[in-house]
Amino acid sequence: MVVLGLILVLAALGFGAYAVWDNTNDVNFQLASQHWTGVPIWVVFVAGAATALVFVLGLWLMSRGARRNRVRRSRLREVERDRDDAYSQLEERRRHEAERVDVPQDTYEGAHADGARIERERADRVDEEADVRAADRSSLS
Quote the pTM value: 0.48
83 part of a folded domain: yes
Where in the sequence is the domain holding 55, given as residue range(s)?
Answer: 42-109
Q: Are 59 and 51 in contact (CB under 8 A)?
A: no
Roughly how many angstroms between the first and final C-alpha of the chain, as a whole number?
89
Flag whether 67 is in a domain: yes
**pLDDT tens for the chain, residues 1 to 141:** 778 888 888 888 888 788 777 777 788 888 788 888 888 877 888 888 899 899 989 988 998 999 999 999 999 999 999 888 888 888 888 888 777 766 555 554 555 556 667 777 878 887 888 777 777 776 665
With respect to residue 102, please indicate whether it lies within any of the assigned structural domains.
yes
Give the number of domains in the chain: 1
